[in-house]
């Protein structure tokens, strides 16, 4: 049973400016080490961070009626196939279906929260 849906869009330049201004402090306030580790500082670094940020925001929106969450409570990772998935630092009885994408200027994520009925 679907219990919530969330969507978010992030302008990649906004994430880049935040990192330029606040550096590692910004990254460490938002992301968990296991999220950052697989992202190298290459060409797609800011796009990938923005996509993960959008995913976290989408999950918060999908979960808003179920459990208050902070950004660091949410962990966005990828399966071996490349598909994104969500895990939590808190005990949560909801499964999140997640889709993320990014292009040159924007990252978008959609999250669907569901419980077994």
CATH number for the domain harbouring residue 22: 3.90.470.20
Q: What is the domain count for the chain?
A: 1
Cα–Cα distance, 42 to 74 (Å, whole number):
24
Q: Which helix (H) or strand (E) holds 86?
A: strand 84-88
Q: What would the mean pLDDT of 48-76 be, rounded to a whole number?
A: 92
Closest CA to 22 of 40, 49, 52, 44: 49
Q: Give, to the nearest 10 degrees, the angle between helix 12-22 and helix 45-63.
A: 110
- Domain range for 78 is 2-114
- Residues of the chain with pLDDT > 70, as a percent, come to 98
Confidence grade of residue 25 (pLDDT, cut at 50, 70, 90): very high
Global pTM reads: 0.92
């Amino acid at each position: 049973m679907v219990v919530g849906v969330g969507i978010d869009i992030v302008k990649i330049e906004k994430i880049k400016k935040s990192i330029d201004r606040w550096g590692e402090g910004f990254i460490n306030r938002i992301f968990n080490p296991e999220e950052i580790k697989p992202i190298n500082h290459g060409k797609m670094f800011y796009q990938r961070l923005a996509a993960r940020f959008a995913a976290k925001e989408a999950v918060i929106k999908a979960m808003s009626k179920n459990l208050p969450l902070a950004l660091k409570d949410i962990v966005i990772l990828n399966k071996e196939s490349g598909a994104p998935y969500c895990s939590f630092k808190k005990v949560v009885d909801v499964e999140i279906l997640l889709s993320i994408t990014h292009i040159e200027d924007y990252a978008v994520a959609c999250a669907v929260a569901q419980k077994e009925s």
